[in-house]
């Protein structure tokens, strides 16, 4: 149980940075004239957190400095929908490559 709690506490900065990226994107969208409401903002922030977590877990095994990883997580939060589309395409291509012989 302590290990789980320790892992969750380690993710708090990741969640905060990704959430900040999502909030920034929502505010930037408002500046461009997009409609603003909490019905739009809350899902965008949740999607930003998810994208930030994915980038965190993908980059955690790489030899990347903490500053670059933090920037990548923040940018993933800001551009979460595009990041998820890229990761989706890469993942599907990877699966097709490994399971290409199966039909």
pLDDT, residue 12, reads 92
pLDDT of residue 90: 87
Region 12-31: mean pLDDT is 86
The token pair at 75 is: 């940018």
Position 28 scores a pLDDT of 81
Distance in angstroms (rounded) separating the CA atoms of residues 97 and 74: 30
Token output for 56 = 């965190």
Say yes or no to pLDDT of 19 above 90: yes
Span 5-18, mean pLDDT? 89
- Other Cβ atoms within 10 Å of 70 Cβ, number: 17
What pLDDT is recorded for position 83? 85
3-state secondary structure of 49: helix
| Cα(20)–Cα(48) distance, integer angstroms | 9
Average pLDDT for the chain: 85
Residue 31: per-residue pLDDT: 66
Closest CA to 66 of 77, 75, 56: 56
pLDDT at 103 over 60: no
Could you give the angle at the alpha carbon of 70 between the alpha carbons of 67 and 73, nearest 5°?
150
Tell me the pLDDT band of 47, cut-offs 50, 70 and 90: very high
Check whether 92 has a pLDDT greater than 80: yes
């Amino acid at each position: 149980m302590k290990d789980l709690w320790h892992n969750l506490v380690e993710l708090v900065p990741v969640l905060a940075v990704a959430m900040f990226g999502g909030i920034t994107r929502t505010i930037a969208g408002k500046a461009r004239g997009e409609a603003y409401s909490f019905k739009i903002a809350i899902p965008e922030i949740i999607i930003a957190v998810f994208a930030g977590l994915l980038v965190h877990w993908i980059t955690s095994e790489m030899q990347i400095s903490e500053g670059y990883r933090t920037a990548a997580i923040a940018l993933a939060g800001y551009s979460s929908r595009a990041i998820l589309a890229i990761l989706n395409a890469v993942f599907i291509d990877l699966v097709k490559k490994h399971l290409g012989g199966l039909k």
